[in-house]
Amino acid sequence: MLTKCTGYSDLRQTTAKQVYPRRLFSPDIPEQMDHARRLRSLRRQMKQRGIDSLLVTHLPDVRYLCGFTGSNAYLAITANRAAMFTDGRYTAQARQETSAAKVVIAAKSARDEACQWLVASGLEHCAFDPGSTTVTELALYRKASSPGHRGFFRPLTESLVPHLRLIKDQDELRLMKEAAHLGVDLFHELLPHLQPGVPETTVAAQLEHSARLRGAEAMSFESIVASGKRSALPHGRATSQRLPRKGFLTLDFGVILNGYCSDMTRTVFLGQPTRRERFTYDAVREAQQAAVAAVKPGVSCGEVDEAARSVLRKAGLAGYFTHSTGHGVGLEIHEAPRIAADQSQSLLPGMVITIEPGVYIADHFGVRIEDMVAVTQDGGQVLTPASTGWTQL
Amino acid sequence: MLTKCTGYSDLRQTTAKQVYPRRLFSPDIPEQMDHARRLRSLRRQMKQRGIDSLLVTHLPDVRYLCGFTGSNAYLAITANRAAMFTDGRYTAQARQETSAAKVVIAAKSARDEACQWLVASGLEHCAFDPGSTTVTELALYRKASSPGHRGFFRPLTESLVPHLRLIKDQDELRLMKEAAHLGVDLFHELLPHLQPGVPETTVAAQLEHSARLRGAEAMSFESIVASGKRSALPHGRATSQRLPRKGFLTLDFGVILNGYCSDMTRTVFLGQPTRRERFTYDAVREAQQAAVAAVKPGVSCGEVDEAARSVLRKAGLAGYFTHSTGHGVGLEIHEAPRIAADQSQSLLPGMVITIEPGVYIADHFGVRIEDMVAVTQDGGQVLTPASTGWTQL
């Protein structure tokens, strides 16, 4: 895999005027997102906060705002102009993918040219996201914009683009449903193949192969396939361990389809369970259903977490539920909001979150059940409609 | 996929005394790395630079130094102590994977507890890597360590852990050879399946499926499968386009095996080439061979880049070589050094780099050939020994 060039800028090929067939890069994106509308929303937020200009560098934020999916991007935004700076590896791709912003192929450094463009705009300040800017990057911004502009770059005091991304628009909801449904289909296809003796890695390989053949760009994280005692590991990646004759099997996986992540978990049982195993499964299922039922605009993330946790507390299992109840999902697998005990953020229509309580009894077994849920006007819609009922193989 | 918990620390289960079978997480790692030796090297560097203590947060750096592979880690290092802070999702995994550092499962925030542990050490300062620390993270370090310790955290002025990782030790070289050889095997297995009419995504799916079945944890980047005119795209991800009857096909892919990345590119031809196509391939191959031959301790990265570029310049193709010649590779797909025109860094024995010149004639075709090369005592060893000769299918 290659890295960008520096130097030899004079030799760089020019493809600005060449016309490429559409969808050369992302054949699966059925249509362009409305980037102009997203930029308008962002500019309204900027204006309300007195922000002259903004430098966006977090790649999912860049993709969200202008469509570009390359690995080197500096998106500079003022009240009436926007320019996306990248390098020569992406000449054709950037021009094809990017809308609502001018594409600039930097001769040397996309970062430096973006900073200089912003300084030359004559505006007083430029904001940046301190949560996605390293200390080194900031020093380089300041170096590129000096002399006389030391204070030009200022950290945002509140989240701006991630805040917009919190509420999915109609285009995004459609794509997220497609990603989630693909996940459900893959799970159903996989069920007949879950037999004692099959290595966990073979299960993962089969799942991921089907995902790829059905259009997924990639998995959204390393698939969790944890069987037998390994089901007690919340993050039990697939290993060479073979599925047991008797015991739980936790499958936690997601696809990336058209850029959007899916995420779901199902725990099935091979063989005949003990009463304790069945009791634990039913308690986790009840906790998961309670949290899904609690999803509604205006309810806080902490309340949704508590809905799951209180069920497990009554069952005497809360001490084994060692993580939070869920998280936002979208272009990234982990986004705002966090569905955790200390979160006062209220749910709003258009958010997409996971609900995934689990119980892990170390060295014995574990159970987790996870759905993706979209917050609607009056409740929540489960996007991953595979049964959560007890499944015995 | 789940996120860490905050709150409910009182309910957290304790598994410190439970014994887990070894290799529960990473069944494919044949043996432990010598983390104690790496920490000793780091401490020597710290001492030479007058650095009391160091906070390491970049996950590949954490893995390199102590073996932990979880997604939340703060590794605090002083002259005689080391502690790795994570959260309750990783209780069992951290204790099993980590060596050379004490494991601390944070009740609430791994970051805050690491900062407090460092401040409580009574040392004057703690260094951090500004290249992998966001502006927000730094503010949180300072908040966690106040009052009275505002200046405690100081940015490193030169690279420390990435500098150590530049030179691969024997354990790493062995694992990198295994990863590279797996890549070569996969390429050879794939060749008979490269037929006109097969979609690029099917090629990628097959490659990735074989990789997974043969033990890879994942691919090291989204596979590039670019056929026909799309071979002119340096980053042409696999699309639904079908392989043509006539034209180039560029395959650029890598696996992650035991944590280490491989990276290789081969460009093959379907059907009968034109003289121009054949001429371009031969020029790229000659450029690639010249750069591989230039690899030797003491030679600068810029000289290696020039070795490839000068061949293409003589062929009149340098204007179509729009990226740098290569990059370091290891636990991450892109590491130091950069093999680019402006890089004065000298090659040293133990470095592993890619050599990957390419020529891209927009809207027509492109060719890239890439090997991984380990710098030895007196030259370079190609780790990806698949033929780079003209391959016509």
Helices (H), chain A: 35-48, 59-66, 91-97, 110-120, 135-145, 161-166, 170-190, 200-213, 275-294, 301-314
The Cα–Cα gap between A240 and A203 comes to: 10
Q: Are residues B186 and B68 in the same domain?
A: no
Residue B154 near residue B128 (C-beta atoms within 8 A)? yes
* Residue written as token pair 């958010």: A351
Residue at B7 is within a domain: no
pLDDT under 50 in chain A at which residues?
5-30
What would the two tokens of residue B58 be?
């970049």
Average pLDDT over residues B185-205: 96
Residue-level pLDDT at B345: 96
The Cα–Cα gap between B202 and B99 comes to: 41
pTM, two decimal places: 0.89
How close A393 comes to chain B (CA, Å)? Answer: 23
Asked if A204's CB is within 8 angstroms of B212's CB, the reply is yes
Q: Are residues A254 and A323 in the same domain?
A: yes
Q: Are residues A202 and A160 in the same domain?
A: no
Residue at B47 is within a domain: yes
The Cα–Cα gap between B323 and A90 comes to: 10
By the CB < 8 Å criterion, does A209 face chain B? yes
Residue-level pLDDT at A3: 64
Residue B196 near residue B270 (C-beta atoms within 8 A)? yes
Q: Are residues A58 and A116 in the same domain?
A: yes
Asked if B138's CB is within 8 angstroms of A322's CB, the reply is no
Q: Are residues A159 and A179 in the same domain?
A: no
By the CB < 8 Å criterion, does A365 face chain B? no
Residue B342 near residue A9 (C-beta atoms within 8 A)? no
Asked if B218's CB is within 8 angstroms of A222's CB, the reply is yes
* Residue written as token pair 């390419």: B358
**Torsion on CA atoms A346, A349, A352, A356, rounded to nearest 10:** 50
Chain A CB contacts of B4 below 8 Å: 323-324
The Cα–Cα gap between A226 and A229 comes to: 8
Residue at B295 is within a domain: yes
By the CB < 8 Å criterion, does B324 face chain A? yes
Q: Kindly write down the DSSP assignment for every residue of A142-173, as one continuous string.
A: HHHH-SS-TTSEEE-SS-SHHHHHHS--HHHH
Number of inter-chain CB pairs under 8 A, A vs B = 247
Residue A326 near residue A358 (C-beta atoms within 8 A)? no
Residue that is last in its domain, among B164, B199, B221 = B164
Average pLDDT over residues B88-114: 93
Q: Kindly write down the DSSP assignment for every residue of B366-390, as one continuous string.
A: EEE-BEEEEE-SSSEEES-----S-
Residue B275 sits in a domain whose CATH number is 3.90.230.10
Quick one: pLDDT band at residue B146, thresholds 50, 70, 90? confident
- pLDDT of B17 above 90: no
Nearest CA in chain B to A329: B1
Residue-level pLDDT at A92: 87
By the CB < 8 Å criterion, does A9 face chain B? no
Distance of alpha carbon B35 from the chain centroid: 19
Residue that is last in its domain, among A164, A179, A208 = A164
Asked if A360's CB is within 8 angstroms of B27's CB, the reply is no
Q: Are residues A235 and A369 in the same domain?
A: yes
What would the two tokens of residue B301 be?
């990265």
Asked if B204's CB is within 8 angstroms of A209's CB, the reply is no
What would the two tokens of residue B168 be?
């691969």
Q: Which of A109, A110, A7, A128 is nearest to A68 (CA)?
A: A110
By the CB < 8 Å criterion, does B214 face chain A? no
Residue A337 near residue A301 (C-beta atoms within 8 A)? yes
Q: Are residues A178 and A142 in the same domain?
A: no
Residue A85 sits in a domain whose CATH number is 3.40.350.10
Asked if B2's CB is within 8 angstroms of A358's CB, the reply is yes
Residue at B251 is within a domain: yes
The Cα–Cα gap between B135 and B133 comes to: 7
Residue at A6 is within a domain: no
Residue-level pLDDT at B1: 67
Residues 331-360 (B) with a CB less than 8 A from some CB of A: 333-334, 338, 340-342, 354, 356, 358, 360
Asked if A24's CB is within 8 angstroms of B239's CB, the reply is yes
Quick one: pLDDT band at residue B10, thresholds 50, 70, 90? very low
Residue-level pLDDT at B3: 63
Q: Are residues B157 and B254 in the same domain?
A: no
Give chain B's mean pLDDT: 91
For residue B124, the 8-state DSSP code is: S
- pLDDT of B28 above 80: no
Q: Are residues A118 and A225 in the same domain?
A: no
Q: What is the pLDDT of residues B271-288, one digit of tens each?
A: 999 999 999 999 999 999
Q: Are residues B193 and B306 in the same domain?
A: yes
Asked if A212's CB is within 8 angstroms of B204's CB, the reply is yes
- pLDDT of B9 above 90: no
Quick one: pLDDT band at residue B181, thresholds 50, 70, 90? very high
Residue that is last in its domain, among B105, B132, B164 = B164
Q: Are residues B280 and B309 in the same domain?
A: yes
Q: Which of B128, B130, B122 is nearest to B153 (CA)?
A: B128
Residue B249 near residue B191 (C-beta atoms within 8 A)? no
Residue-level pLDDT at A27: 43
Residue at A40 is within a domain: yes
Give me the number of domains chain A comprises. Answer: 2
Average pLDDT over residues B221-231: 95
Helices (H), chain B: 35-48, 59-66, 91-97, 110-120, 135-145, 161-165, 170-190, 200-213, 275-294, 301-314
What would the two tokens of residue B47 be?
């001492």
Residue A145 near residue A112 (C-beta atoms within 8 A)? no
Residue-level pLDDT at B361: 95
Residue at A13 is within a domain: no
Q: Are residues A239 and A336 in the same domain?
A: yes
Helices and strands (H, E) in chain A, number of each type: 10, 19
Beta strands across the sheet bearing B371-375: B335-339, B326-328, B352-355, B371-375, B380-382
The Cα–Cα gap between A252 and A265 comes to: 4
Question: Domain range spanning residue A119?
Answer: 35-164
Asked if A139's CB is within 8 angstroms of B6's CB, the reply is no
* Residue written as token pair 């927009």: B362
The Cα–Cα gap between B110 and A269 comes to: 34
Position A66, amino acid: C
Rounded to a whole number of angstroms, the distance between the first and last alpha carbons of chain B is 42
How close A145 comes to chain B (CA, Å)? Answer: 18
- pLDDT of B70 above 50: yes
Contacts of A108 (CB under 8 A, 6+ apart): A6, A7, A9
- pLDDT of B49 above 60: yes
Residue at A92 is within a domain: yes
Examine the predicted complex and report whether its ipTM is higher than 0.95.
Answer: no
Half-sphere exposure for B298 (CA within 13 Å, toward CB): 3
Higher pLDDT, residue B180 or A217: B180
Position A256, amino acid: I
For residue A198, the 8-state DSSP code is: -
Quick one: pLDDT band at residue B145, thresholds 50, 70, 90? confident
Q: What is the pLDDT of residues B116-132, one digit of tens each?
A: 999 999 999 999 999 99
Contacts of B353 (CB under 8 A, 6+ apart): B295, B304, B326, B327, B328, B329, B337, B339, B347, B372, B373, B375
Residue-level pLDDT at A108: 87
Q: Which of A113, A99, A83 is nearest to A9 (CA)?
A: A113
By the CB < 8 Å criterion, does B209 face chain A? yes
